[in-house]
Amino acid sequence: ALSIGIVGLPNVGKSTLFNALTKNDVLAANYPFATIEPNVGVVGVPDDRLGKLAEVFSSQKTIPATVSFVDIAGIVRGASEGQGLGNKFLANIRESDAICQVIRVFTDPDVVHVDGKVSPADDIETINTELLLADLQTLEKAVPRLEKEMRKDKERASLHKAAVEAQQVLDTGKTLFAAGVDAEPLRELGLMTTKPFLYVFNMDADELGNEELVAELRAMVAPAEAILLDAQTESELVELPADEAAELLASIGQDEPGLDQLARVGFRTLGLQTYLTAGPKESRAWTIPVGATAPQAAGVIHSDFQRGFIKAEIVSFDQLMEAGSMAAARTRGWVRIEGKEYVMADGDVVEFRFNV
């Protein structure tokens, strides 16, 4: 499954955030046979549609889509010089499909800042520079090697060309993702800045309503997405019963936990979307890449469903709700029969027909 690596300078609240995430872990409840690794948190993607589906279908339970976060320690200024970024850091980040940077905005004088002052813009610059330099180092080693290889093997020429172009982009100070460079041909080089970034600004709770500051922080990272939260409050929220959590949220002027926003934005940043299935047993959100076809979507449930795919009966969630039941949606002609070529839309409610 795709995952998001959490990175940030020391003392910005990564562990606090990650611990809150893992307390929210849905893996244990819904996937009892999955192995849980200490630095991986699997969280449910909050989805109001599931509760509504469960009502219509009298489902016993709901199962959300999930998104995995990996805690990646070890980035500091100058990491890419000197001893370089640690091997474990590099391996972890290479396995991630998106990078979530945690940036300190909270001011607490009791928590030391590695550079002596709290400056979100400087910290973002520091991290981006380290990632850029690390990619440049990778390419400096790869390009001469690829030059030799392409003398023997013409097929290496396209990778060589992509690598040289990537170097030119990085030399301008842009990440490969921001420059719109296609990651696919470069895949084997394990570059980091081909991945999409998202940002968590760890704020003092009483600043979350500071619209000027919030706008400034969002603008700092746009078009990448930003989540603004207070990691300490988030870690308290996950310990509280629902009614007390709602009270605490209201007291800081928020209507949703930051972790919920993080799960949703993270999911979207990974290029994922969901389709829905519903029945008396469960209403469930299934994860597919944007652009997946109906047979590919069926394959997420079971590979036999993809192999034996015949057709899919599909109604959009909104139309199903408007009709009030599957039977009523059918009567109105809103349940479509789709074939192998159909590209799934977010919120399709689906029943697959297949041969076994």
Residue placing its CB nearer to ligand GDP in the complex, 13 or 347:
13
Residue 103 near residue 124, CB atoms below 8 Å: yes
What tokens appear for 312 in the block? 């899919």
Residue placing its CB nearer to ligand GDP in the complex, 19 or 129:
19
Q: Which residue has the tokens 């009298």?
A: 58
Residue placing its CB nearer to ligand GDP in the complex, 171 or 256:
256
Residue placing its CB nearer to ligand GDP in the complex, 15 or 129:
15
What are the residues binding ligand GDP (CB under 6 A)?
Answer: 8, 10-16, 106, 108, 111, 202, 230-232
Minimal distance in Å, beta carbon 132 to ligand GDP? 21
Residue placing its CB nearer to ligand GDP in the complex, 108 or 318:
108
Please state the φ and ψ torsions of residue 313, each to the nearest 5 degrees: -100, 120
Minimal distance in Å, beta carbon 20 to ligand GDP? 10
| Residue at 188: amino acid letter | E
Q: Is 14 annotated as a binding residue?
A: yes
Cis peptide before 223 (omega within 30 of 0): yes
| Strands of 290-347, DSSP E | 309-316, 336-338
What tokens appear for 102 in the block? 């945690």
Q: Is 30 annotated as a binding residue?
A: no
The DSSP 8-state label assigned to residue 42 in this structure reads E
Residue placing its CB nearer to ligand GDP in the complex, 14 or 268:
14
Sequence-distant (6+) residues with CB within 8 A of 262 are: 21, 100, 200, 227, 229
Minimal distance in Å, beta carbon 102 to ligand GDP? 6
**Quick count: other Cβ atoms within 10 Å of Cβ 21?**
25
What tokens appear for 22 in the block? 């893992």
Ranked by CB distance to ligand GDP, the top (closest) residue is 13
Q: Is 12 annotated as a binding residue?
A: yes
- Cα Rg of the chain (Å, integer): 23
Minimal distance in Å, beta carbon 104 to ligand GDP? 8
Residue 7 near residue 85, CB atoms below 8 Å: no
Residue placing its CB nearer to ligand GDP in the complex, 2 or 76:
76
Minimal distance in Å, beta carbon 169 to ligand GDP? 30
Q: What is d(CA 162, CA 168) in angstroms, rounded to the nearest whole number?
A: 10
Q: Is 16 annotated as a binding residue?
A: yes
Minimal distance in Å, beta carbon 235 to ligand GDP? 8
Residue 79 near residue 175, CB atoms below 8 Å: no
Minimal distance in Å, beta carbon 7 to ligand GDP? 10
- Report the SS3 class of residue 13: coil
- Binding residues for ATP are 11-16
| Annotated binding residues | 11-16
